[in-house]
Amino acid sequence: MAEQSDLEILGALGVEVKAKKKAKLTKQQERIIAGFEEIQRFVEEHGHLPKHGEDKDIFERIYAARLDRIRKLPECRELVEALDTQGLLEGVYLEGENSLDELDDNELLSQLGVETGKTNDITNLKHVKSQAQKEREKSDEIGTRQACKDFDKFKPLFESVQNDLDLGFRKTMPFIKDGSIEEGNLFIIGGQKAYVASVGDHFIGKDGRKEYRLRVIFDNGVESNQLMHSLQKRLWEDDAGRRISEISGGPIFDNVNKEDDLASGTIYVLRSMRDHPVINKSRDVVHKIGVTGGDVKKRIANAKNDPTYLMADVEIIATYELYNINRKKLETLIHRFFESAKLEIEIKDRFGKPVVPREWFLVPLFIIDEVVKKIRDKTIGDYIYDTKSAKLRRR
């Protein structure tokens, strides 16, 4: 005997079975459910509830206002409650939270300056591009910014570049319109240093021009994959946009004489004769380094009464004659080069006031000799002074 179905068994027992008709939803209810499902898809895609705010995507603003209304109206909550697997209805509606909350979707779009099409699907916009579309196109043009995962590799570069700028080994210059951009170039844009880490293969852009996708690292730890022509445009339009030059010998060898600045000078190295615990401990490496255009002996004649010379006599250890230099910039370069080795000492002047002299450094004489040679051959920009090993080290 063939097996009977449940319905046949019930019929044989005299039980009348009527199929329960599924309640038919009104168009309004269908639209509420469809709208709630759109909010659910947004949350799944973005990982957070839609938020209000003029800086948000137009659809996110719509979804935020719609969710507020659904939470507020009991008939809406009951309709979608069984669908709420994400806990979207748990939030509390705040009366007056947003002036757009009381508008329906079409009115909301109108308030946002968006003209809708004939369909009821609010995501089917006509005559305008959605904010999402605009953002995607903008992203295609200028690239997306994200955290640079290997920024530790680039951080020393930015620190070195800033040091080069301080010392005058590099300089900044305006970016000319449609100026070239190559791998390894450095720029200042939006107040940040930017390094072109790589240039991708060329392709033809929307405007028919040859285009390249760049990897640009910024000194704040983010990176961008913007287009080359976009970076050119931004640099050109930025009043403070600059190109950072390559390392050079610096401006100390300028041939143009300026006021109070001669084309020759003397680097002098002095040793202090002062009786002081700090000086006594390291007298052989405690040196004052300066640059003058006059006679060094005359300059130090009154050293014992001058806090610049530690209120004591000094002896001349070495002098170096240089020509066609900018003395002020040369002295600044030397002092900044040895900044990490600056002597920290406080003395009292002849009136008993505490003074912290400058231009004194804990540097061996042979290192000073090397630095002067590097200045003369214009390679000083390739080196830094390592205080731990007391050696010059290539960058």
Give the DSSP H or E segment for 54. Answer: none
Distances (CA, A) of 172 to 175, 190, 240, 334: 9, 14, 10, 21
CB 70 within 8 A of CB 89: yes
Neighbours of 341 (CB within 10 A): 18
Residue 340, both tokens: 């990490």
Neighbours of 117 (CB within 10 A): 11
Q: How many CA atoms lie within 13 A of 112 on its CB side?
A: 30
Bridge partner list, 392:
385
Phi then psi dihedrals of residue 80, to 5 deg: -110, 0
Bridge partner list, 271:
315
| Intra-chain end-to-end CA distance of the chain, in Å | 94
Q: Measured at the alpha carbon of residue 254, what is the angle toward residues 394 and 260, in degrees to the nearest 5?
A: 120
pLDDT of the residue at 333: 87
Q: Measured at the alpha carbon of residue 369, what is the angle toward residues 366 and 370, in degrees to the nearest 5?
A: 90
Phi then psi dihedrals of residue 190, to 5 deg: 60, 30
Residue type (1 letter), 187: F
Ranges of the chain with pLDDT below 70: 1-23, 91-143, 178, 247-264
Q: Report d(CA 302, CA 196) in Å as an integer.
A: 53
Nearest Cα neighbor of 188 from 171, 163, 167, 207 is 171
Q: Which residues of 70-96 are buried (b: 16+ CB within 10 A; e: fewer)?
A: bbbeeebeebbeeeeeeebbeeeeeee
Domain boundaries, the chain: 27-133, 143-244, 251-394
Neighbours of 171 (CB within 10 A): 15
Confirm whether pTM is higher than 0.85.
Answer: no
Q: Report d(CA 186, CA 243) in Å as an integer.
A: 6
CB 289 within 8 A of CB 368: yes
Nearest Cα neighbor of 189 from 143, 150, 127, 156 is 143
pLDDT of the residue at 194: 94
Pairing of strands 314-323, 172-174: unpaired
Nearest Cα neighbor of 42 from 15, 25, 63 is 63
In the block, tokens 């930017």 appear at 194
User: What residues contact 301, with CB distance under 8 A and at least 6 apart?
Assistant: none
pLDDT of the residue at 259: 44
Write out 132-158 in H/E/C secondary structure.
HHHHHHHHHHHCCEEECCCHHHHHHHH
